Chains A and B, each alone.
Chain A
Amino acid sequence: MKMLIENARLVDPEAGSETPGAVLIEGARIGDVITGDTAGIEAARVDAGGACLAPGIVDIGVKVSEPGERHKESFASAGRAAVAGGVTTIVTRPDTQPAIDTPETLEFVERRASADTPVTVLPMAALTKGRAGREMTEIGLLMDAGAVAFSDADRVVTDTRVFARALTYARSLDALVIGHVQDPGLSAGAAVTSGKFAALRGLPGVSPMAERMGLDRDIALLEMTGATYHADQITTARALPALARAKRNGLDITAGVGVHHLTLNELDVADYRSFFKLKPPLRAEDDRQAVVEALGAGLIDVISSMHTPQDEESKRLPFEEAASGAVALETLLPAALRLVHAGALSLPQLFRALSLTPSARLGLETGRLARGAPADLVLFDPDASYRLDRAALQSKSRNTPFDGAILQGRVLGTWSGGQRVFG
């Protein structure tokens, strides 16, 4: 079974190029990438009509609320949202109820995911039991069961001895540890970033310094243990020099950023709009710009959705009491395209951060537009604009900060393992 997607603009993050061409899908893999004449190729044909074709998005840090809160998001609804957003690999977070901290719960996730989702679902497991920060999980058994990374999600392992041991142990297995960089003391109880806006709104704020302190601590422990490490979200200018230094010193460290921190700032909270309450909180515009620049320079490696479904009840509360997080599987690409439209990134640079680098960091084959790579693809029109209506989202929870916003960029088709799963 062959399929040719032709008349496309090929966005190749490896080569850093955008060229007119076609992709031939053979079974589950890319059979060929053709920039010349496609006449004579025997295959079912899809006319891309000049739209962009890129490797499918690899999204590290997606919260699917199974087990525990299936009413917020199930594997089925997350799968529908993912394909509508061009996400072909979901790397799930372990901050469910209960936490994914045993091979048995991990297998439950894999079973549910494979039954209900048309895209690749790769689970992360907790680094410590119950994400309580006291004892490490069965890292080896969890890896055998399919865990691709270890993280306590938005909880910091505050006991540095526990964290150092977990890093040391993880290193012996070449396991990737994903850390949430935040000083737990300074950030306790914070709802927004400290500063004039926080003071005006009378909301408890966390200093942006808390992120740098968290990162500094983790970098010191990496020097000590030599572990493989990814910082989930770097969102402030102050943390960037430390990250650059750690990379220069040869530590095995990468960093991510959530799409909302790239496209929104603290003022978007306006009159206590709880859909803009995130963890870490949205930052000052200076920080946002610094992080966008760091992404363009390759200092920050990965863009994630940090998809966090919350039901209406947990958001329709006074701001401090409201739950944190936003859904973003479907809006990740159109929101991130704002950076391209603003001239901050090229399309290949964007897909380096969305697909190629996260895939490589997890040791996957996907994320590339190359012969032999898995046929995980997204076809999109980067210019199509529309007003987002959150009621039309596929996620069970519709807590998006982009409700009513004009987005530019629409997914036309998604292929996962050679199968067309959307469009």
Chain B
Amino acid sequence: MTFRAEHLLGIEHLSPEDITVLLDLADHYAEHNRQGRTRRDVLEGLTQINMFFENSTRTQASFEIAGTRLGADVMNMAMQASSVKKGETLIDTALTLNAMRPDILVVRHPQSGAVDLLAQKVECAVLNAGDGRHEHPTQALLDALTIRRHHGRLHRLSIAICGDIAHSRVARSNILLLGKMENRIRLVGPPTLMPAQVAEFGVEVYHDMAEGLRDVDVVMMLRLQRERMDGGFIPSEREYFHRYGLDAEKLAHAGADAIVMHPGPMNRGVEIDGTIADDINRSVIHEQVEMGVAVRMAAMDLLARNLRARRGAEAAGVMV
């Protein structure tokens, strides 16, 4: 089994084998990290640029640590403060950066498809760190790794994804990944926060938490953006917490060994009760963050191998 991709733009393009290869390597890096070991030779001599057109302290830090642990020269560019403000288009920004010959570009952008567009214009490996409402592949991979480590498998599990599905790239990538690995996926949330014709995704849809969580193995909560709480999509914050916020009573419907996940940052008291989030027997939220670094190390390692192979072949004049 080989991972041949040039970029990591979304889960959509990955095969179940690709996902397994990525997770196996990430598992290996997770152990490495726990032992406090580093592998500085993996990305040695490579330049990684993190381009965040949208703020994200956590994801950016995770990619930075992952790159640094593997020996890359990491540079962060806060794109909001940069030339974007001066009216430069995304493609011009991409071409400018490309001329600096980076090896790995990590991109987050508020527009769906923007990272795909950028990847078409550069010659390095591109990792999607979240584009609009489209995909957030490393988040889905780190979620998958966390689930696999807890349940010992990543297939035939019953997984409830709860909350604002419509606006969530995390939900999209997770639905794709967990679907490819043959799990039963339930989406739980108010109908106004579900995508149109959501049933076509091969998922079960619930508008009631007690029913939706019944006997599931995994409860995956999503963040509800503040701007959606003002009556446009849901009546109010407190009505949302009452009906869809995860508390002990609702969680009691889930399976006895069900784990609780959240991609962060959490709104305590909106989508999740603080005591659930802090319950070390249930919540794996901190482990998700830990696995995030491992998954990003694995993804960059595999993409860098392919990048080096491509460049080597080009140098040798071989068509690949």
What residues of chain A have their CB less than 8 Å away from a CB belonging to chain B? 194-196, 198-203, 205, 207, 271-272, 313, 316-321
B196 touches A194 (CB 8 A): yes
Q: Which residues of A contact B111 (CB under 8 A)?
A: 318-321
Q: Which residues of A contact B135 (CB under 8 A)?
A: 202
Determine whether B24 belongs to the interface, using a CB cutoff of 8 Å to chain A. Answer: no
Contact (A271, B116) CB under 8 Å given A199-B198, A316-B91, A317-B89: yes
Closest to A195 in B: B197
A377 vs B91: C-alpha distance in the bound complex, in angstroms?
44
B118-150 vs A, Cβ < 8 Å mask (1 yes, 0 no): 000000000000011111000000000000000
Closest to A313 in B: B89
Q: Which residues of A contact B172 (CB under 8 A)?
A: 199-200, 202
Contact (A318, B12) CB under 8 Å given A202-B133, A202-B169, A207-B196: no
Q: Which residues of B contact A318 (CB under 8 A)?
A: 90, 109, 111-114, 117, 132
B134 touches A194 (CB 8 A): no
Closest to B136 in A: A202
Q: Which residues of B contact A194 (CB under 8 A)?
A: 196-197
B113 touches A271 (CB 8 A): yes
Q: Which residues of B contact A272 (CB under 8 A)?
A: 112-113, 116-117
B240 smallest CB distance to A (angstroms): 21
Determine whether B201 belongs to the interface, using a CB cutoff of 8 Å to chain A. Answer: yes
Determine whether B195 belongs to the interface, using a CB cutoff of 8 Å to chain A. Answer: yes
A201 touches B113 (CB 8 A): yes
Determine whether B200 belongs to the interface, using a CB cutoff of 8 Å to chain A. Answer: yes
Closest to B195 in A: A199
Q: For the side of the interface on B, what is the size category?
A: 20 to 34
A202 touches B131 (CB 8 A): yes
A54 smallest CB distance to B (angstroms): 41
B114 touches A196 (CB 8 A): no
A293 vs B90: C-alpha distance in the bound complex, in angstroms?
41
Q: Which residues of B contact A313 (CB under 8 A)?
A: 89
Q: Which residues of B contact A317 (CB under 8 A)?
A: 89-91, 117
Closest to B201 in A: A196
B95 smallest CB distance to A (angstroms): 11
A317 vs B113: C-alpha distance in the bound complex, in angstroms?
10
Contact (A201, B112) CB under 8 Å given A272-B117, A317-B90, A318-B90: yes
A195 vs B201: C-alpha distance in the bound complex, in angstroms?
10
Q: Kindly list the 5 A-B residue pairs having the minimum CB-CB distance in the complex, ordered from nearest.
A: A202-B134, A272-B113, A202-B133, A318-B111, A199-B195
Closest to A271 in B: B116
B72-116 vs A, Cβ < 8 Å mask (1 yes, 0 no): 000000000000000001110000000000000000010111101
A272 vs B114: C-alpha distance in the bound complex, in angstroms?
9
A131 smallest CB distance to B (angstroms): 27
Q: Which residues of A contact B196 (CB under 8 A)?
A: 194-195, 198-199, 205, 207
A148 smallest CB distance to B (angstroms): 38
Q: Which residues of B contact A199 (CB under 8 A)?
A: 166, 172, 195-198, 201
Q: Which residues of A contact B195 (CB under 8 A)?
A: 198-199
Q: Which residues of B contact A200 (CB under 8 A)?
A: 12, 172
B132 touches A320 (CB 8 A): yes
B167-210 vs A, Cβ < 8 Å mask (1 yes, 0 no): 00100100000000000000000000001111011000000000
A212 smallest CB distance to B (angstroms): 15
B54 smallest CB distance to A (angstroms): 12
Q: Which residues of A contact B197 (CB under 8 A)?
A: 194-196, 199
A21 vs B52: C-alpha distance in the bound complex, in angstroms?
67
A319 vs B117: C-alpha distance in the bound complex, in angstroms?
9
10 A/B residue pairs, CB under 8 Å, sorted by A: A199-B172, A199-B197, A199-B198, A200-B12, A202-B135, A203-B134, A205-B196, A272-B116, A317-B90, A317-B117
A319 vs B112: C-alpha distance in the bound complex, in angstroms?
7
A320 vs B114: C-alpha distance in the bound complex, in angstroms?
9
B222 smallest CB distance to A (angstroms): 14
A200 vs B135: C-alpha distance in the bound complex, in angstroms?
9
Task: List 6 additional contacts besides A203-B132, A271-B113, A317-B117; criterion CB under 8 Å.
Answer: A195-B197, A195-B200, A196-B200, A203-B113, A318-B117, A319-B112
B113 touches A316 (CB 8 A): no
A211 smallest CB distance to B (angstroms): 15
Q: Which residues of B contact A203 (CB under 8 A)?
A: 112-113, 132-134
A198 vs B195: C-alpha distance in the bound complex, in angstroms?
9
A240 smallest CB distance to B (angstroms): 20
A311 smallest CB distance to B (angstroms): 12
A319 vs B196: C-alpha distance in the bound complex, in angstroms?
19
Q: Which residues of B contact A320 (CB under 8 A)?
A: 111-113, 132
A207 vs B109: C-alpha distance in the bound complex, in angstroms?
26
Q: Which residues of B contact A319 (CB under 8 A)?
A: 111-113
A403 vs B200: C-alpha distance in the bound complex, in angstroms?
31
A235 vs B111: C-alpha distance in the bound complex, in angstroms?
27
Q: Which residue, A200, A202, A205, A207, has most C-beta atoms of chain B within 10 A?
A: A202
Q: Which residue, B109, B114, B117, B131, has most C-beta atoms of chain A within 10 A?
A: B117
A194 vs B200: C-alpha distance in the bound complex, in angstroms?
12
Q: Which residues of B contact A201 (CB under 8 A)?
A: 112-113, 134
A317 vs B89: C-alpha distance in the bound complex, in angstroms?
7
A313 vs B90: C-alpha distance in the bound complex, in angstroms?
11
Q: Which residues of A contact B109 (CB under 8 A)?
A: 318
A343 vs B114: C-alpha distance in the bound complex, in angstroms?
39
B296 smallest CB distance to A (angstroms): 21
Closest to B109 in A: A318
A313 smallest CB distance to B (angstroms): 7
A300 smallest CB distance to B (angstroms): 25
Closest to B115 in A: A318
Closest to B165 in A: A199
Q: Which residues of B contact A205 (CB under 8 A)?
A: 196
B229 smallest CB distance to A (angstroms): 19
A272 vs B109: C-alpha distance in the bound complex, in angstroms?
14
A202 vs B133: C-alpha distance in the bound complex, in angstroms?
4
A199 vs B200: C-alpha distance in the bound complex, in angstroms?
10
B162 smallest CB distance to A (angstroms): 17
A319 vs B111: C-alpha distance in the bound complex, in angstroms?
8
Closest to A205 in B: B196
Q: Which residues of A contact B12 (CB under 8 A)?
A: 200
B132 touches A202 (CB 8 A): yes
A16 vs B201: C-alpha distance in the bound complex, in angstroms?
46
Q: Which residues of A contact B166 (CB under 8 A)?
A: 199
B56 smallest CB distance to A (angstroms): 17
B133 smallest CB distance to A (angstroms): 3
A392 smallest CB distance to B (angstroms): 23
A189 smallest CB distance to B (angstroms): 12
